[in-house]
Amino acid sequence: MFPGGGDMQKLLQQAQQMQADYMQAQQELASSEVTASAGGGLVSATVTGDGELKGVKIDPKAVDPDDVETLEDLVLAAVQAATEDAKRLAEQKMGPLGDALGGLGGGLGLPGM
């Protein structure tokens, strides 16, 4: 027992459960996708919950050979918006687990930490 009545075995079991929850959340994020658009839907980008760009769709109406710069800006805006949405999703799923495991993982030497 630790001073104050703590039980090392119970603490380790809790840490292992938190690690399992964390890994589950990571897997869910990797398989989740968010899509955001720019230019009123002319350009959209899809990003996984863990930040991987999966695709970009461009409406043919957005393609103007004389104004490629606007299309580039729309693509950039769509990718940035999708990436921000993915970050928010990750914070929702991982926030409490990441905070808790960040403080425990290093000290307990748990794998994946």
The structural domains of the chain, with segments of one domain joined by +, span: 26-97
26-68: pLDDT as tens digits: 888 888 999 999 999 999 999 998 889 999 999 999 999 999 9
What is the DSSP annotation of 21-69? HHHHHHHHHHH-EEEEEETTTTEEEEEETTS-EEEEEE-GGG--TT-HH
Second CATH level (architecture) for the domain 26-97: 2-Layer Sandwich (3.30)
Is the whole model's pTM more than 0.75, yes or no?
Answer: no
d(CA 12, CA 76): 45
DSSP letter, residue 3: T
Residue range 10-21: mean pLDDT, rounded: 87
